[in-house]
Amino acid sequence: MTWTWKYEDSDGKDAGVSAEFEARGDAESWIGEAFADLADDGVAQVRLFEDAKEIYGPMSLSPGEE
């Protein structure tokens, strides 16, 4: 199984996908380090997937929003 983040712009449209991670913890640690760069690149929110199954999201990358 693999874990990936799918990126969306402010309109909820597809804006890319992360590299694949072997563990959920690795994916979550990575997003904690990369969110500011992603937001600077125009990513407004992300969704976490385990293979093709959405685990949670959308999660805003804007400060103070959930």
16 is a domain residue: yes
Evaluate whether 25 touches 43 at the Cβ level (below 8 Å): no
Per the structure, the count of domains in the chain is 1
Evaluate whether 14 touches 7 at the Cβ level (below 8 Å): yes
41 is a domain residue: yes
What is the pLDDT, as a whole number, of residue 63?
73
Question: What number of residues does the chain have?
Answer: 66
pLDDT category, 66, cuts 50, 70, 90?
Answer: low
What is the pLDDT, as a whole number, of residue 62?
85
What is the pLDDT, as a whole number, of residue 54?
98
At 11-62, the pLDDT tens digits run 999 999 999 999 999 999 999 999 999 999 999 999 999 999 999 999 999 8
Structural domain for 50, as ranges:
3-60
66 is a domain residue: no
| The pLDDT of residue 65 is above 60 | no
